[in-house]
Amino acid sequence: MTPPVENSGPAETDPPTPGWDPRTLLVAPGRHGAYHTIGAALRDAPDGGVISVADGSYPETFELLDRSLTVRAFDGATVLLDGSGGDWPVLDVRGGSLTLAGIDVRASVAALRVENANLTVERCRVSASVGPAISLRGCPRFVVSRCTVSGSVQGIVVESSSGRIDDTSVDDVASDGVVVGLGADPEIRNCTISGCGQRGIYVYQYARPLIEGCDISGTTGAGIEVAHQSRPTVRRTRVRDVLGVGIAFGPGCAGSVEECQLDNTAEPGILLAEGATPTVLEPVRRPSATGDAGLDDLLTELDGMVGLAAVKAEVRALVDEIQVNEWRRKAGLPVGTLSHHLIFAGAPGTGKTTVARTYGKLLRALGVLARGQFREVSRRDLVGQYIGHTAEKTALVFEAAKGGVLFIDEAYTLSRQAGSGGDFGQEAIDTLVKLMEDHRDEVAVIVAGYTGEMTDFLAVNPGLASRFSKTVEFENYSPEDLLQIIGRMVGDGDYLMDGEAHPVLLDHFARISGDPNFGNAREARRLFEGVRKAQSQRLRALGRMPNVLELRTVTAEDVLAASA
């Protein structure tokens, strides 16, 4: 991809929009009196100017040198800056200042690379296939707020910079979620960091960040790792369900850990190398010897899930059988062999992953599994590129899952019938069959997917079906279940739903539930995001500052707009 040719600005014959601030330039392809590309508007924008961008996908990339500009989505528009075909950043900023608001940025190489400039990024979605999604170096002031960063090698890299990252999620990155180094001292508050191939937060070379109120989970390495004389303050942060230790301090590192919670991490919860001197102001809360919570608490958590009556009954029956077997063993009575491997069959969005996580915790609480940690994988994590490579990859994944649950989503894609990789998927299945038998008391394997495809999957190896003790069927959620799910989302977001919206929601869910691609709870989540957007557009049109009740209330009008 080469930088696109910039279209010209507004024609001289087009009259200016009455009352339009001359420092604000509108980008709206096809509209008279507006710029057709962002690049053309940037060329003409004065220092301190605002570029307001209408709906659309813009295949443009920019290099900004000592400019002071704001680029924002126009009145709630959906705007994508798409540089996925290029070998350079979508926005390469050096000097000056840039504010980016409400813009989605997709890149092959770093989406935002900023050096020696002030930066504000708000309500943006950022992804990059190669390198960090957001890279900050030498920035005297920056703000990354209410953003979503995903699908990159690294999430956010901050070096020699001061600023803050707040209310931002970093997910599905191949390496570290957030990297802070070279003396940087940002505040990282109320962020969610999950699904990282290495560490959640990596702090190195004299960095001094404040990490407060964050939730870090699903990392292959440590939740937080501190190295090279760094001194972070980690406060009221939770690290959970990680394969590595919770927090690791290297030699010569200091700082403090205050009121933090570590759940389901490798031992020890806090790893201190020789010469590390952090202060732990309060004991870090650790899981009890019987799991993150007691058996009754976990069963209450299971019962609290919406719908899934048959699934809950199946899981409770399994728990009862395991408990009674343990009592028989203690009484000296014979106990039959019980496999903990399960098949979860059903459509997407029916709670299979959530139930699998709870199942692992239940097995730990019962003393069946040592750790109860949860490892979710798919075909790409198990299948290699040549004969022999797959067996090695599968064995490594299985080894990392020992003591907990190995959850294989869309497992049917491993079979010859469904997969696209020749015999490589079959090699993964054959390897799993042997490992599941050899280590049946050390790990619980759960395979998940559509009911029909899972039946075909079990037929590809004569010993595969016998490894699983039970198939648990997950039925689609009813419209009433989905109404309850979206009601919880409304409550969690501190919104209020107008009662008149309920029948509108029920009609919508009843109408879409027959679609073959119906996504169940995912549909509820998508609709809720649409309702929030519709509410925002409605309130902006009031022409005044809404009161608190108006800010909290979503109406039937909002639901209709989102479901249209």
Distance CA 12, CA 199 (A): 54
Distance CA 235, CA 224 (A): 12
Q: Is the pTM of this model over 0.85?
A: no
Neighbouring residues of 33: CB distance < 8 A, sequence distance ≥ 6: 10, 14, 15, 16, 17, 26
Predicted pLDDT of residue 14: 41
Q: Helix 295-303 to helix 309-330 angle, to the nearest 10 degrees? A: 160
- Sheet strands (E) in 412-562: 444-449, 470-474, 496-497, 553-554
Predicted pLDDT of residue 417: 45
Q: Which of 2-6, 93-97, 436-440, 478-482 has the highest mean pLDDT?
A: 93-97
For residue 4, CA distances in Å to 45, 303, 398 come to 18, 55, 47
Least confident of 11-25, 307-321, 347-361: 11-25
Nearest CA to 177 out of 156, 159, 158 is that of 156
- Bridge partners, residue 69, by sequence: 49, 98
State yes or no: pLDDT of 344 exceeds 50. Answer: yes
Predicted pLDDT of residue 7: 37
Nearest CA to 523 out of 537, 511, 533 is that of 511
In this prediction, residue 456 has a pLDDT band, given cuts at 50, 70 and 90, of confident
Tens of pLDDT, residue by residue over 63-103, are 999 999 999 999 878 899 998 877 889 999 999 999 999 99
Predicted pLDDT of residue 387: 67
Tens of pLDDT, residue by residue over 278-336, are 988 754 544 443 334 567 778 877 887 888 888 888 888 888 888 888 788 777 777 77
Q: Is 381 helix (H, G, I), strand (E, B) or coil?
A: helix
Q: Is residue 412 within 8 Å of residue 454, measured between CB atoms?
A: yes
Distance CA 21, CA 98 (A): 19
Q: Is 207 helix (H, G, I), strand (E, B) or coil?
A: coil
- The whole-number average pLDDT for the span 224-237 is 93
- The whole-number average pLDDT for the span 48-63 is 92
- The whole-number average pLDDT for the span 413-442 is 72
Q: Is residue 126 within 8 Å of residue 102, measured between CB atoms?
A: no
- The whole-number average pLDDT for the span 100-112 is 91
In this prediction, residue 16 has a pLDDT band, given cuts at 50, 70 and 90, of very low
Longest dimension (CA), the chain: 95
- The whole-number average pLDDT for the span 512-521 is 74
Predicted pLDDT of residue 516: 67
